[in-house]
Amino acid sequence: MAKFFNTAGPCVPEDHYMVDTKERFTNVGELIDQKKYFILHAPRQTGKTTNMIQLARQLNEEGQYIVLYLNVEAGQPLRNQVDRVNNLVISAFERMAKIYLPSEYRPSEDCFKIRAMEEGIGEFLSNWCLELPKPLVVFMDEVDALIGDSLISVLRQLRGGYANRPRAFPHALCLIGLRDMRDYRIFSDETQRYVIEGSAFNIKDKSIRIENFTKAQVHNLFQQHTDATGQLFSEEALDLIFESTQGQPWLVNAIGRELCFEEHAIPCDQMISPDDVKNAIEILILRRDVHLDQLADKLTEPRVAKIIQTILIGEADGVSQQTTNEHQQYLIDLGLIRVGKNGLEIANPIYREIIPRELTWYQQNILGQDPAWYVKENGQLDIQKLLDAYIEFYKEHSELITARQTYTEAAHHLLFMAWLQRIVNGGGRISREYAAGLGRLDLCIEYAGERFAFELKRSGKRALEKGKIQLTGYLNRLNLNSGWLVIFNRYPVEDWEIVGKREYVDYQGKHIEVIWL
């Protein structure tokens, strides 16, 4: 069977194009040799499971250790049922040992006599290690799916047997999950208090985060397809894939799948261009595959919404005053945001495009605007007609701003973007730039060979002055001579006559239209 780009479940070397596991881990082998207990964490669908399964296979082939991977996610609903979680984890060891280990390395029947005991996991591992002729290494995945007293019990059992390694406990152990163990605050129903990680698993030597693919790894992944099929990718196309995804593994593979294997795949005898990549990205966004849908679902969480809103409106003050480091780290661990040169920003351009669209999806569908109304006879966008219509629409439907229950500070930005997206859909593209420290949101409409640049800001003492400077910089980067500065009133409207006021200014050789909303 020919290999393909995988976007569902762990990758298999025989079936899928893959980045070599050794390229993504630098010192895991050293930690194992040193008998360390450590953490591996990364956002979903970045390759944690794939790479740990492959590493277990490689280490077993080398023969120095007996290595077993297992997943304990099924214990998530069993919040405080410690005995049932013990039984479930031990059963997972039994099942995976049957699948991946030769019979002489599998636990004996005696090991399983203590399945549901309160300290069952620790006793099981001690008994099994005493039977084995070589040191045992354990990779335990989805540990952070466990909750409350069940998680506390598992961590403390692993800590309790640590001093007996390697003869009577695993030689080395890796706990795998979304978050670093230092970020755990586990609520114990038994003691009615939070237990921080240090008191439950203070034997951790190191935390390792799996990073996204590098640019070289992205190029290598697509070279595998070229070697297998002869299909070529332009250098610009490969660079665009990396820039758009920032190496996020699922996105990289999803674009590859769309370009090479799906309904609109490019024929193998044609070179894939940047325009092909842009089309593939747009298809992914519109189709809202599972990974992207899960990402969008997180936007409704209050701790997520608070930070994303701050990034959308570009004002960094909200992060330090209204949120905690814990919440920021939560979004970083989810892979939603990163710390960029301007402060907190969305993790990659594709997510940056998805988030405003998702937050305005409902509004786009209720606007009742036909995009054809704003297209000239020559097929180009009538941008002035579009803006005139929005101002009138806003005056009539301002309740769409005031009635919003979430993202209230960004409500103006979101409604305006919903209007633009509704009109542009199907005939053009919108690209956006925003980050917590920028002080504004920039967007550019591309339609029928023309580009229109906008800067969105909230009102303030120096909003106009700063806006002119910032928009001019944006226009210089886009090589455009004119653009629009839209300033939203952050306070209740007292005089509707001035809403929609427009003025024209020239600044540093650029022609700027200012719209006050």
- DSSP state letters, 137-174: EEEEE-GGGS-HHHHHHHHHHHHHHGGGTTTSS-SEEE
The pLDDT value given to residue 200 = 46
The model carries a pTM of 0.87
Same fold, 21-209 and 215-287: no
8 A C-beta contact, residue 458 and residue 412: yes
Chain segment 9-47, per-residue pLDDT in tens: 899 999 999 998 888 877 888 999 999 999 898 888 888
Residue whose tokens read 């990205």: 281
Could you give phi then psi for residue 207, rounded to 5 degrees?
A: -115, 130
Q: What is the dihedral of CA 284, 289, 294, 295, to 10 degrees?
A: -10
Instruction: Give the three-class secondary structure for 129.
Output: helix
- Using alpha carbons, select from 420, 447, 451 the residue that is nearest to residue 353: 420
Question: Which amino acid, one-letter code, is at 36?
Answer: K
- Using alpha carbons, select from 256, 247, 244, 254 the residue that is nearest to residue 287: 254
Rounded Cα distance between 442 and 429, Å, is 14
Rounded Cα distance between 249 and 241, Å, is 11
The 8-class DSSP code of residue 460 comes to -
The 8-class DSSP code of residue 449 comes to T
The pLDDT value given to residue 467 = 94
| Partners of 91 in beta bridges | none
Structure tokens at 412: 């103006």
8 A C-beta contact, residue 124 and residue 111: yes
Max CA-CA distance within the chain?
85
Rounded Cα distance between 56 and 289, Å, is 30
Rounded to an integer, what is the distance from CA 56 to the centroid of its chain? 26
Q: With a cut of 70, list the residues of the chain below it in pLDDT.
A: 115-118, 181-205, 316-324, 426
- CA angle, residues 268, 270, 276, in degrees to nearest 5: 100
Q: What is the dihedral of CA 77, 83, 87, 89, to 10 degrees?
A: 60
- CA angle, residues 85, 39, 351, in degrees to nearest 5: 100
Q: Name the residue ranges covered by the structural domains of the chain.
A: 21-209, 215-287, 354-516
Rounded Cα distance between 481 and 491, Å, is 32
Question: Which amino acid, one-letter code, is at 301?
Answer: E
Structure tokens at 30: 């050293």
Chain segment 245-280, per-residue pLDDT in tens: 999 999 999 999 999 999 889 999 999 999 999 999
CA-to-CA separations, 45 to 7, 109, 265, in angstroms, rounded:
8, 36, 23
Rounded to an integer, what is the distance from CA 9 to the centroid of its chain? 16
**What's domain 21-209's architecture?**
3-Layer(aba) Sandwich (3.40)
The pLDDT value given to residue 201 = 60
Rounded Cα distance between 89 and 115, Å, is 9
Structure tokens at 361: 């999806």
215-287 maps to CATH 1.10.3470: no
The pLDDT value given to residue 188 = 47
Rounded to an integer, what is the distance from CA 441 to the centroid of its chain? 21
The pLDDT value given to residue 274 = 96
